[in-house]
Amino acid sequence: MTKLKFALVAGEASGDILGSGLINELKKRYPDSSFEGVGGDLMIAAGLESRAPMERLSVMGLVEVLSRLPELFKLRKSLIRHWVNHPPDLFIGIDAPDFTLELERQLKEVGITTVHYVSPSVWAWKAKRIYKIKTAVDLLLALFPFEAQHYTKTQQRLSFVGHPLADTIANDTRLPIARETFQLSAAQRVIGILPGSRGSEIKYLARPFLETARLLLQRHTDLTFLLPAANEKRYQQLKVLIDSEFSELPLQLILGKSREVMAASDVILIASGTATLEATLLKKPMVVGYRMARLTYAIFSRMLKTPYVSLPNILAGEALVPEVLQKALTPERLCSEVEHWLDSSTDKQYLLERFTAIFEQLHQNADQQAADAIVLLMKEKGLLPDA
């Protein structure tokens, strides 16, 4: 029985989902293998021995990360030293490119085969990063089909694997009964409020999103609201805010269950990020909002090479859903955009058709495809027998 040692590093909740699915798929093929690195609860449950809390890597924003740089450098140096001294058969960096690409580069220099799971957004900014990726990564696993064209200059080895979220949602038996889960009737109109999973996102978005809910309720008294918290820490952060300023709202604050919340909602008010892809695959009308530190946004907006910031619009190549950013992110503007989805049946039908096409494109059994690509790479590198 082939026994392999895999090292993996994920930096946030979306990477934890990808990593757990990949670990489970690799374990089916090589059940005696070991997995260590950095991951969240899902990866740990799948069998990862985590060498550091994933929360230490979960930081957003060019300005916000500065205060964490010494800690992040120290952690990366520690991981490199450990794996140079105790080399795995394969290293897999999952997203978090600012942290994992340098880790991959240094491990590859000492002869460790490296895989990067999730193409960095070179199509949106930092296009020259393709050259760094080439030096650091033996195999790039891409979630979206359009990404391959951006790596032709470097002839990067790349496999499009689809997105695991599409596969998970297709098989999630909880979704058709999501309203029952929250004791909601079929007749109730429900707004999902998802201000993000990071502390910085809650800081910038929770209050304007809840102020939007208050304004919506003044205009539509039949509405009810669901707000999922990503973890216990975010739950307590949100609970303090709601109890002190928004206790009158007909709102359920829920620990976890963000997918069920989105499935139960008629319209979703959501932070830009991976959750917008999940809402897309659930085929839900949404309003995307985001706010960050002014200096961070000034730098970010100058680097951006696409007209859109949200995944549904990027994938569709058109403005399917409204994006409300920075100074424009006011309760009045957000309320108006949500009301549009409550009222417009024609636009909702077109949205459903486009979202269905995106779902079908991304539903590729990604965990299996990713494992297949990794196994092929390892065979070609002599790390596995051909048979």
pLDDT band at 355 (very low <50, low <70, confident <90, very high): very high
CATH classification for the domain delimited by 172-362, as one of 3.40.50.2000, 2.40.10.220, 3.30.565.10, 3.40.50.1970:
3.40.50.2000
Contact 45, 72 (CB under 8 A): no
pLDDT band at 14 (very low <50, low <70, confident <90, very high): confident
DSSP 8-state code for residue 36: E
Asked whether the predicted pLDDT for residue 386 surpasses 80, the reply is no
Q: What is the pLDDT of residues 291-317, one digit of tens each?
A: 877 766 666 666 666 788 899 999 999
Q: Is the pTM of this model over 0.85?
A: no
Quick check: helix, strand or coil at residue 245?
A: helix
| Percent of the chain whose pLDDT exceeds 90 | 75
Task: Write the CATH number of the domain with boundaries 5-162+364-380.
Answer: 3.40.50.2000
pLDDT value, residue 70: 84
Contact residues for 173 (Cβ-Cβ < 8 A; gap 6+): none
Which position has the higher pLDDT, 121 or 332? 332
Nearest to 75 by CA among 49, 50, 44, 45: 50
User: What is the distance between the alpha carbons of residues 277 and 283, in angstroms, rounded to a whole number?
Assistant: 10
Nearest to 12 by CA among 46, 49, 35, 43: 43
Q: SS3 helix, strand, coil % of the chain, rounded to 5?
A: 55, 15, 30
Q: Where are the beta strands (DSSP E) in the chain?
A: 5-10, 34-39, 48-53, 90-94, 113-117, 139-142, 158-160, 189-194, 223-229, 251-255, 267-271, 286-290, 323-325
User: What is the distance between the alpha carbons of residues 300 and 283, in angstroms, rounded to a whole number?
Assistant: 29
Q: What is the pLDDT of residues 131-147, one digit of tens each?
A: 999 999 999 999 999 89
Contact 264, 182 (CB under 8 A): yes
Domain limits, CATH 3.40.50.2000, in the chain = 5-162+364-380, 172-362
pLDDT value, residue 197: 85
Query: Given the structure tokens 């000034």, which residue do they identify?
Result: 298
User: What is the distance between the alpha carbons of residues 59 and 65, in angstroms, rounded to a whole number?
Assistant: 6
User: What is the distance between the alpha carbons of residues 44 and 58, in angstroms, rounded to a whole number?
Assistant: 16
Per the document, the length of the chain is: 387
DSSP structure string for 317-386: TS--S-EEEGGG--HHHHHHHHHHHHH-HHHHHHHHHHHHHHHHHH-S-HHHHHHHHHHHHHHHTTSS--
Q: How far apart are the first and last CA of the chain?
A: 12
Chain centre to alpha carbon of residue 71:
23
User: What is the distance between the alpha carbons of residues 194 and 270, in angstroms, rounded to a whole number?
Assistant: 5
DSSP 8-state code for residue 223: E
- Burial code (b: 16+ CB inside 10 Å, e: under 16) for 14-38 equals bbbbbbbbbbbbbbeebeebebbbb
